[in-house]
């Protein structure tokens, strides 16, 4: 008879199962999208650019591994992340890849650092700026994501609506824009638009999921 696995090895088998479920670009993107708030399959497919069938398959894998849970709302199945610490796990993967992969470092440098040479605002700095009345926070994600949860005190101006609402933003304060995460281009596009119109603007170093995972002040609804 084979020797029974030790409790430690049995645990590592389960850990590996969870890690294997995450080992897919599509599933990583789905988890980042769900970190903005719960959604149905079609909305997730639209947000990630995947087919509905492919999205459903990935969600099933994530659910089998305990990474997402679902509920029925009429005929629709709504998904959400199963644990509030999942964004922190995703951030950990990102940090290691940025430090240890030359290709990741090159992609970040060519597509983010060179496009915006100003140092992004860190979470702690943003808190100080807001408390001192020196900055306003702009959430440039779609309205439904803002409603699901946002940085407390942030204004929601989706990036596609920003040109029409620029005149309503004050020029005597710095504007800090954020979106879905550190690689979401919405914030960068918003900052570029603002600077062209004479505003002092920077982007938050990370996004809403990382802010929430750090247990900083958030709010749901309008």
Say which residues have a Cβ less than 8 Å from residue 96's Cβ, sequence separation at least 6: none
Reference 116, options 220, 4, 8, 205; nearest CA is 205
For helices 25-34 and 86-100, give the axis angle rounded to 10 degrees: 130
Residue 211 belongs to what H/E stretch?
Answer: helix 208-213
**Distance, CA of 147 to CA of 144 (rounded, Å):** 5
Number of residues that make up the chain: 222
Q: How far apart are CA 144 and CA 163, in angstroms?
A: 20
| Strand-pair partners of 76 | 73
The residues carrying an active-site annotation are 179
CA pair distance 210, 222, nearest whole angstrom: 20
Q: How far lies 67's CA from each of 46, 133, 186, 196, in Å?
A: 21, 39, 26, 42
Greatest CA separation for the chain: 76
């Amino acid at each position: 008879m084979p020797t029974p696995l030790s409790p430690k090895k049995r645990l590592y088998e389960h850990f590996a199962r969870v890690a294997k479920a995450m080992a897919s670009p599509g599933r990583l993107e789905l988890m980042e999208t769900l970190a903005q708030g719960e959604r149905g399959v079609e909305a997730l497919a639209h947000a990630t650019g995947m087919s509905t069938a492919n999205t459903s398959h990935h969600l099933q894998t994530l659910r089998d591994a305990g990474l997402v849970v679902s509920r029925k709302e009429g005929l629709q199945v709504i998904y959400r992340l199963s644990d509030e610490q999942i964004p922190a796990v995703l951030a950990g993967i990102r940090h290691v890849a940025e430090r240890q992969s030359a290709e990741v470092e090159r992609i970040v440098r060519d597509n983010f650092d060179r496009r915006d040479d100003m140092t992004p605002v860190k979470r702690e700095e943003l808190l100080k700026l807001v408390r001192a009345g020196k900055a306003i926070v702009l959430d440039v994600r779609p309205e439904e994501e803002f409603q699901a949860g946002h940085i407390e005190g942030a204004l929601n101006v989706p990036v596609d609506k920003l040109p029409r609402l620029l005149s309503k933003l004050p020029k005597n304060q710095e504007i800090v824009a954020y979106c879905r995460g550190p690689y979401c281009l919405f914030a960068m596009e918003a900052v570029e638009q603002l600077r062209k119109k004479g505003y002092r603007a920077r982007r938050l170093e990370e996004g809403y999921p990382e802010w929430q995972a750090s247990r900083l002040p958030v709010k749901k609804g309008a």
